[in-house]
Amino acid sequence: MSAFKKGQDVILTNPRGTDKSGKFVGIKNLGSGRGGGEYLIVDVGGKELKARASKVRAA
């Protein structure tokens, strides 16, 4: 379970290593299998992005 609260400011590190700031929206479970599991949903500039918990930190 995530320690983030809805609407909390967070920083997302994308695969290229650049940081993007946004707001935490919630958690989505994509199921079992390859590419599945729990992802955090972060709203960055009006666009909702999925990210692993290890790639998101508090602002």
Q: The CATH number of the domain where 15 resides is what?
A: 2.40.10
Instruction: Answer yes or no: is 41 within a domain.
Output: yes
Say if strands 47-51 and 56-58 run parallel, antiparallel, or are unpaired.
unpaired
pLDDT value of position 57: 95
Instruction: Answer yes or no: is 4 within a domain.
Output: no
Instruction: Answer yes or no: is 1 within a domain.
Output: no
Which residues form the domain of 18?
Answer: 9-58
Residue 1: pLDDT over 90: no
- Give pLDDT tens digits for 30-51: 999 998 999 999 999 999 999 9
Residue 2: pLDDT over 80: no
Residue 20: pLDDT over 70: yes
Instruction: Answer yes or no: is 29 within a domain.
Output: yes
Computed over every residue of the chain, the mean pLDDT equals 93
The H helix count followed by the E strand count for the chain is: 0, 5
Distance of CA 31 to CAs 25, 35, 36, 37, Å? Answer: 19, 8, 5, 5
Residue 56: pLDDT over 60: yes
